Structure 1
Amino acid sequence: MSTTPEPRPNIYALTWRLPIIFWQLVFFVGPVLFMVAMSFFLVKNYRMTEAFEFVNWGRMLTRGFFWDSYWYTVFIATVSTVCAMCIAFPAAFALAFRASESTRRWAIFLLIIPFFTSYLVRTFSWFVILSESGVVNAILGYVGLGPYTMLNTNFGTLVGYMTLTLPLVVILQTVTMANIDKNLIEAARNLGCSPLRTIWQVIIPLAKTGLIIAAIFCFILSFGDFVAPFYLGGSQEPTLPILILDTTKSGQQWPRAAVVAIMMMLTLFAIAFTGIALAYRKGKGAK
């Protein structure tokens, strides 16, 4: 009887993978494991001491202020994601199906340009625009409206989130829809589909993977952002990143802040894996 030899590991491929594995271990896995361990430490006389106690977990997870911040962060990040996806879709649709190849390239380049500037600088620029004596209220004043308070509100927070995520969402949606086979769209129109029905039953299913990935990126960036809710939202309702800052300032409670950070990571992992599973799930009848 002949036995099939076991495949040998590809040393060449493994060699090229080692830098990525090493990078992940040093800069991701290592810090995460340390943060998990730190969540069991105790703070005595403003100094952390090694221990294995669940005091910090019990302290944070049984407090109403933590869950208020948690659900508010989930809510505002979800609203931001829905708004970004809805605002970006018409622009991405026009770039993918109405604009020429050259125009699309220039549009994507212009959408990348905001990332050349610090996000903090772009956020502070909204103070001039959204303040009660700012540009928006000045324009509204000409038609007899306002002034409206837009800073230190949920609206200000959402504007900051849009500043961070909207260009990226437009780019991802554009690239996704630009790769759709145009013959399928023409076939749908020849079969009598209206434009809206074509978008709903042809374009969106074909672009499902890219659209979900764009939504995941938007939610992750919004969920973990500190700048927008702190500076534009005024931290009236603290999000989890703001809660981490407040916790570290309160008696150097880094272990309790680690609990908040771990809960954020678990939430994001759950959202990301669920979204990716939906993005790559095959429809009924697909092989």
Structure 2
Amino acid sequence: MDKTIELKQRLPQEIYQSPPSWWGYLLILPGILLVSFLFVGMGILTYYSFLTFDSIEFIIYEFTLENWRSFLTTDAYYFIFFRTIGLSLFITILAVGLALPYAYLTIRVRSSLLRKLLLISIFVPFFTGVIVRAYGWLIILGQNGLVNSFFGIFGLGPYRLIGTEIGVIIGLLQIMIPFAIIMIAPAVQNIDRAMELAASNLGANPFQTFYHIVIPLAKPGIAGGTIVVFTITAATYAVPALIGGGRVDFIANVIYRSLFDLSNYPLAATFSVALVIVASIFVLGIFQTLGSGTLGVDTGDSHE
């Protein structure tokens, strides 16, 4: 009898043995390879940014700082680069700020029908490409578009929205808000509803509960949404090209013209490396600002 009980106790341990420790490293190998290729690509871009451009031979393999000097001293490049960063930050703040209450409503709404409608409205924009949506905004924001037709009812306008920063901001917001919602919604889902009820029982109104309970606990999603929206917006090409009409260029538009109009690969590489550096600094700043442990990363600075 004792041997039978002992056998039953040992059997599950023998069947469900933990895998070898090296299996975990094997599973992350594809990710390591992908990141390695990205590092190799960045290394090549950095190398090209220090090469000499020639209008006939295109690339002369001689070291030079001319590309970086041109980037840092040319007013037009300087202005476009800072416009890209400035508008990207502004759009990121707006997108995350609008996405947070939308994600909260989607998760906390009691009506299953309304929840499904809210979820569908998030994913519908992904059914069409960015180019199609940009052309749609050309129709809406055009001189005779829906927006100016609405203002015309009140005797206002028409206003020029195509080829302006306002038009580009509107077009990019419509594209970026769903990304922010998708990143924030899981973080809101993981917030224990009992904590909100406890705050309400202690006298907090809905705004105070949202500000002091929901927002701090949703930091991982807010950080993820901020990083995703900023990096995508800073590297966007189609919306500034179409809705901006050549008047509101981002750095990606300058990279495109440097490659395909001027065939200046070293200068395009310089712009690309500079953009990656700024985006990386921004991501690092988000981690530092929102504190250790954000996005599930333990930096070793947390204290009990």
Same fold per superposition (TM over 0.5): yes
Match of 1:13 in 2: 24
Give me the whole-angstrom Cα distance separating, in 2, the residues matched to 1:15 and 1:83.
41
C-alpha deviation, 1:286, in angstroms: 5.6
Match of 2:43 in 1: 33
What CA deviation, in whole Å up to 9, does each residue of 1:57-111 have, x standing for no partner? 1222222222211211111111111221222233222212224466535533441
C-alpha deviation, 1:149, in angstroms: 1.4
Q: Indicate the SS of the match to 2:191.
A: coil
Match of 1:200 in 2: 211
Distance 1:182-1:286 versus aligned 2 partners, 3 A rule: farther
1:91 pairs with 77, 81, 102, which one?
102
Q: Does 1:142 align with 2:153?
A: yes
Give me the whole-angstrom Cα distance separating, in 2, the residues matched to 1:281 and 1:101.
36
Q: Does 1:281 align with 2:292?
A: yes
Q: Does 1:162 align with 2:177?
A: no
Q: Does 1:270 align with 2:276?
A: no
Give me the whole-angstrom Cα distance separating, in 1, the residues matched to 2:253 and 2:105.
38
Give me the whole-angstrom Cα distance separating, in 2, the residues matched to 1:166 and 1:242.
22
Number of corresponding residues: 278
Deviates most, 211-220 or 183-192: 211-220
Match of 2:132 in 1: 121
Give me the whole-angstrom Cα distance separating, in 1, the residues matched to 2:169 and 2:110.
29
Q: Does 1:261 align with 2:272?
A: yes
Task: Provide the TM-score with structure 1 as the length reference.
Answer: 0.88
Distance 1:86-1:18 versus aligned 2 partners, 3 A rule: closer
Q: Indicate the SS of the match to 1:193.
A: coil
- RMSD after superposition: 2.3
Q: Does 1:73 align with 2:73?
A: no
Gap regions ≥5 residues in structure 1 = 1-8
C-alpha deviation, 1:121, in angstroms: 1.0
Match of 1:185 in 2: 196
Give me the whole-angstrom Cα distance separating, in 2, the residues matched to 1:46 and 1:164.
40
Identity %: 24
Task: Provide the TM-score with structure 2 as the length reference.
Answer: 0.83
Q: Indicate the SS of the match to 2:209.
A: helix
1:239 pairs with 228, 250, 262, which one?
250
Match of 2:35 in 1: 24
What CA deviation, in whole Å up to 9, does each residue of 1:199-250 have, x standing for no partner? 1111111112211221221111111111111110123143211221232355
What CA deviation, in whole Å up to 9, does each residue of 1:234-279 have, x standing for no partner? 2314321122123235542110111111010001111112212333
Q: Does 1:111 align with 2:122?
A: yes
The amino acid that maps onto 1:37 is: Y
Larger-gyration structure (1/2): 2
The amino acid that maps onto 1:36 is: T
Question: Retained in 2: the 8 A contact 1:46–1:252?
Answer: no
Question: Retained in 2: the 8 A contact 1:42–1:53?
Answer: yes
Give me the whole-angstrom Cα distance separating, in 2, the residues matched to 1:53 and 1:10.
48
Distance 1:46-1:108 versus aligned 2 partners, 3 A rule: farther
Give me the whole-angstrom Cα distance separating, in 1, the residues matched to 2:293 and 2:262.
51
C-alpha deviation, 1:285, in angstroms: 9.0
Gap regions ≥5 residues in structure 2 = 1-19, 295-300
Q: Indicate the SS of the match to 1:201.
A: helix
Give me the whole-angstrom Cα distance separating, in 2, the residues matched to 1:170 and 1:21.
28
Question: Retained in 2: the 8 A contact 1:213–1:275?
Answer: no
Question: Retained in 1: the 8 A contact 2:95–2:176?
Answer: yes
